[in-house]
Structure 1
Amino acid sequence: MSRTVLVIVGPTGVGKTGVSLELAKRLDCEVISADSRQVYKYMNIGTAKPTREELAAVPHHFIDIKLPDQRYSAGEFGDEARACVADIFSRGKQPVVVGGSGLYIRGLVDGFSGHRIADENVKAALQDELRQRGIATLYARLQAVDAETAANLNRTDTQRILRALEVFEITGTPLSEYLKKTPAPAEFESIFFGLTMPRVELYKRITQRVDTMISAGLVEEVRVLEEMG
């Protein structure tokens, strides 16, 4: 299984963490978390991070690497996770990716090029901002983050302005940079394992998880984050 990354995916609550820990015992693995919320410190309960004991038992990467007010994009994760995979292989270990965020996994496995990047949530948020603030405000923001693309667009070209901002919001890299290059292929193969279970059982597990989170102090965790600003 040399140079093959194992990728465990599935819905919230299906048991991805447990499977990854069991694999780690058998295959001498290190876990790459592809969860876009677990990268942030102080969000332990709400993001269902592995416990201290689990983190101590198996090396994990990309957990608690950013403060809540720091931006971290799928593009950044993809680049850094590829470097992490190479490092794990160099030490004779087996990388296991646990997700998480589909965009993060795509950034790792496929890389990004401008025409393939899309996120309906980001797009909807930009549409809301357009309605509230107008295209002039969005164009000014594009000038600040991607002056080259902005210079080539009409100030009223709503569709292309939104598209350029969408790419930047998702990846942290200007669209103009993506148009100059194609993503480098990954230097490893990937095998995906999709976990599933009957919907009724999954919903029951999610409900139990929420109850456990609240009992563990989720409300207080959110309050602390709000106080941090």
Structure 2
Amino acid sequence: MEKLLVTIGGPTGIGKTSWAIRLARHYRTEILSADSRQFYREMRIGTARPTPEELAQAPHHFVGHLSIENDYTVGDFRRDALERLETLFGKYDLLILAGGSGLYLDAVTRGLDEFPEVDPGIREDLERLLVEQGLGALQVLLQEKDPAYFDRVDRENPRRLIRALEVCLGSGKPYSSYLGNRQSPGFFTTLRLGIDAPREVVYDRIEKRVLAMVQAGLEEEARALYPFRECNALQTVGYQEFFSYFDGDLDRDTAIREIVKNTRRYAKRQGTWFRRDPDIHWIPYDAATEVATRYIDERMKSLEDGN
């Protein structure tokens, strides 16, 4: 039988972990996480990492396997995930790859574009520009250097802006000129699922989850990680707001409200990313497991029939 990788995407707080576990138990298989923040063992609460009880329900990979001090790129994840998939497909015909990081899901299933090596000093200059002049300075510079990519990039994400700009400045060519040369792996077929809910439901779930995280000790976790706040892994919602509170720039209640607001913004960007993908089959967040398994079974039968 042809090997099938089922990916599960969708905005934060939608229930991807629950869906992945339900499907893994149904098909008696294993789960690979493509959530780029759940990789880090120190970030347990703020990333809503699966609980020990959830992890016990199905084998998981790439959850809490790194330290925040490790440099780990999407390219590193693609390499490691493909190696793990090759091994696991020796045992299973179907595996599950789940997470809200659309870039990481695509890296495994569709490949990555190749970019030239650039002088590390360029990134340092851009990081300095971000600190001294803010996000707007990066946006203006990218609009000048690569207007085509500027029109499609998440302009609120400084990491994406800096990555594009360092390629533009280091190569003398637009970042967008290096896009579109990906190669998908050839040893499995991908079936893409998206978990969907009305925006008001997503926003309500996010607020409840943030408050639950705070109740579970997010502030204490962030305080323990404060000495490492410059690590790339910690440039994320839930930690940055508490760091601002610790610095005296926000009061505690405002920091929590900012986490809710910024998580909602992140969920909106995730939704935009996934909605652009015509290959995703959408499943209501509150649907019965059979709604997804019926669709997967039909696809598996189609593969067996050579269609």
TM-score, normalised on structure 2? 0.54
In the other structure, the counterpart of 1:185 is 184
1:45–1:213 CA contact under 8 A, matched in 2: yes
1:78–1:104 CA contact under 8 A, matched in 2: yes
1:68: how far off? 0.8
In the other structure, the counterpart of 2:166 is 165
1:165: how far off? 3.5
In the other structure, the counterpart of 2:267 is none
In the other structure, the counterpart of 1:74 is 74
1:105: how far off? 1.0
1:100: how far off? 2.1
State the distance in 1 between where 2:75 and 2:208 align.
Answer: 34
More deviation in 99-108 or 201-210?
99-108
1:75: how far off? 0.6
In the other structure, the counterpart of 2:205 is 205
**With CA pairs under 8 Å and 6+ residues apart, which has the higher RCO, 1 or 2?**
1
In the other structure, the counterpart of 1:32 is 32
1:35–1:100 CA contact under 8 A, matched in 2: yes
Change (3 A) 1:204 1:88: same
Structure 2 SS opposite 1:97: strand
In the other structure, the counterpart of 2:43 is 43
State the distance in 2 between where 1:132 and 1:211 align.
Answer: 30
State the distance in 2 between where 1:197 and 1:9 align.
Answer: 12
Aligned length: 185
Change (3 A) 1:9 1:132: closer
User: What letter is aligned with 1:7?
Assistant: T
Deviations 1:114-145 (CA, angstroms, capped at 9, x unpaired) = 26xxxxxxxx9975534668xxxxxxxxxxxx
2:78–2:107 CA contact under 8 A, matched in 1: yes
Structure 2 SS opposite 1:40: coil
Deviations 1:42-90 (CA, angstroms, capped at 9, x unpaired) = 1111000111011122111111111111111001101111111111111
State the distance in 1 between where 2:24 and 2:130 align.
Answer: 49
In the other structure, the counterpart of 1:110 is 110
1:92: how far off? 2.4
Structure 1 SS opposite 2:8: strand
Change (3 A) 1:27 1:220: same
State the distance in 1 between where 2:201 and 2:91 align.
Answer: 39
Change (3 A) 1:3 1:200: same
In the other structure, the counterpart of 1:174 is none
Change (3 A) 1:69 1:210: same
In the other structure, the counterpart of 1:137 is none
**Which segments of 5 or more consecutive residues in structure 2 lack a partner in the other structure?**
116-122, 133-143, 147-161, 169-177, 230-307
State the distance in 2 between where 1:126 and 1:101 align.
Answer: 27
User: What letter is aligned with 1:82?
Assistant: L
RMSD: 3.0
1:166: how far off? 4.9
State the distance in 2 between where 1:76 and 1:10 align.
Answer: 23
State the distance in 1 between where 2:163 and 2:4 align.
Answer: 37
Deviations 1:91-123 (CA, angstroms, capped at 9, x unpaired) = 2263101112112112101111226xxxxxxxx
2:32–2:60 CA contact under 8 A, matched in 1: yes
Change (3 A) 1:96 1:166: farther
Structure 1 segments of 4+ aligned residues over 6 angstroms from their partners: none
Structure 2 SS opposite 1:107: helix
**Between the two proteins, what is the percent identity of the paired residues?**
35
TM-score, normalised on structure 1? 0.71
1:185: how far off? 3.0
State the distance in 2 between where 1:106 and 1:5 align.
Answer: 12
Change (3 A) 1:16 1:166: farther
User: What letter is aligned with 2:102?
Assistant: G
